[in-house]
Amino acid sequence: MRWQNRRLSDNVEDRRGGGGGGGMRNIGIGGVIIIVVLALITKQSPQALLNKVQQSTGGTEQTTSQTVTKASDEEAQFASTVLANTEDVWTALFKEMNKQYEAPKMVLFTDVDQSGCGTAQSAMGPFYCPADDRVYLDLSFFNEMEQRFKVVGDFAKAYVIAHEVGHHIQNLLGISRKVQAMRSQLSEKEYNKLSVKLELQADFLAGVWAHHAQRMDNILDAGDIEEALNAASAVGDDKLQEAANGRVVPDAFTHGTSAQRMRWFKKGFDTGNIKDGDTFNASDL
């Protein structure tokens, strides 16, 4: 990925070294790793375990933030550069829809931090918090991607960030609120199906970003899309469940299979058209 010497985002808060506490209500691409594995080991539902995380409490230590600069370490610069590119792309796309894009903040933290949704924990992976419009990222997750899941490459990391920004897009468009409002009306099994569609749409939106980022800034090297597809495949519910317990439980899926995640990212990249990403009414995911 061609990311060096490009614009850094002004919307990155570097809180690394600080900490906080509370409960968390929204996990992202990495959170499914812990939830699914623990669910299969303890024979509890993923939703029950997530509820326990939401109800956890802790301290509220205040943290200091600083802006990522050219003097910051390379991984922080990378994350800031990718976020800046998502800002450029989504600002242009929202303008085409006669809307004004409000960019999210990105918080870089170490181990634990306080988010508007409660505690941001490194073990839960990157996530987007709609309560404060922030993406929370412990950069150590990228090392875990390489060491545990054998997913390598800058663009694989960019996909992770773009997926969480995709959740921000869903929040701005009111999609997330509609899904959340249906939680109390549905069984866990039925709500999981909606969760899968929400996550696959975020994958699609990450693909839309990649399409326009390449058209606008020529960011891609050979093999970059394959890196993103490898990342999407690595965090498929079926692959994670199979690795954890040797069997697959479709009713417990919350993010989609490896094939589905790859398909929707690729569809977003191929079309670049946000209108093609209606996972909720798709006849075949």
The tens digit of pLDDT for each residue in 105-125 reads 999 999 999 999 999 999 889
Residue with tokens 């959340």: 180
Q: What is the mean pLDDT of the chain?
A: 87
Q: State what percent of residues in the chain have pLDDT above 90.
A: 72
The tens digit of pLDDT for each residue in 85-109 reads 999 999 999 999 999 999 999 999 9
Model pTM above 0.85: no
The tens digit of pLDDT for each residue in 185-214 reads 999 999 999 999 999 999 999 999 999 999
Gap between the Cα atoms of 186 and 195, Å rounded: 12
Token pair belonging to 210:
């990649």
